[in-house]
Amino acid sequence: MLLRPSGAFGSGSRPARAWSQDPGAIPVSQQPVRRGVRLAVDVGSVRVGVARSDPGGVLATPLRVLASGPGAKAALARAELAELAIAEEAIEVIVGLPTSLSGREGAAAAGAREFAADLAGRLAPIPVRLVDERFTTTEAHDALRRGGKDARARRQVVDAAAAAVLLQAALDAERATGRPAGQLVPASTPADTGADA
């Protein structure tokens, strides 16, 4: 796929000329991409899926699934994720923002925003970004099903696979635009969370 300034397809329905014939086009693979490992997180009420990119920011792969839940389990998952980001020398962490088809946010999105803000506070100055995650779990289930995993086997790994789908979309978006995907999350402070300093 080639990216060109507006009007790449002209006024007709014929696509733009191929790269070899059009030296003004910029291949997607040659857009500026920051080097460094990125992590992505699919936040669930029971499990947190984590994916990792290669240092070149080209390919996302499932990494692991962390146990989560209410209270102390969620705090432990966040602490483990922060340690993992530091151990992997991540340049950023992407947190999936679940929204409806219309783009509306519900309780799951509020939970993801709170998770991302807490993580940003733990990881500062490593940036945390929220990226729309619509369809990532569905795509992950479909890919695992095509790979021969039954429903029980999928349940154990689908969260990490969904995080990989999310991360790959973010990497592709950065390659297409030259800018990091998603919305930067400001780091929370003890005053923001109501905790004591």
pLDDT confidence of residue 187: 81
pLDDT confidence of residue 3: 28
pLDDT confidence of residue 1: 29
pLDDT confidence of residue 163: 92
Cα 98 from chain centre: 11
Higher model confidence: residue 130 or residue 14? 130
pLDDT at 36 over 70: yes
The closest of 157, 166, 176 to 139, measured between CA atoms, is 166
pLDDT at 81 over 60: yes
pLDDT at 180 over 90: yes
pLDDT confidence of residue 45: 82
Rounded to whole angstroms, how far apart are CA atoms 156 and 153? 6
Q: What is the mean pLDDT of residues 172-192?
A: 82
CA dihedral over 150, 112, 86, 180, signed as positive or negative: positive
Q: How many CB atoms lie within 10 A of CB 4?
A: 14
The closest of 3, 53, 35, 43 to 170, measured between CA atoms, is 53
Give tens-digit pLDDT for 113-160: 999 999 999 999 999 999 988 655 555 545 555 655 555 544 556 788
Rounded to whole angstroms, how far apart are CA atoms 37 and 56? 7
Higher model confidence: residue 17 or residue 68? 68
* Residue position matching structure tokens 């291949």: 27
Identify the weakest region by mean pLDDT among 4-18, 81-95, 152-166.
4-18
Higher model confidence: residue 35 or residue 2? 35
Domains with residue ranges and CATH for the chain: 35-187 (3.30.420.140)
Give tens-digit pLDDT for 54-76: 999 999 999 999 988 888 888 89
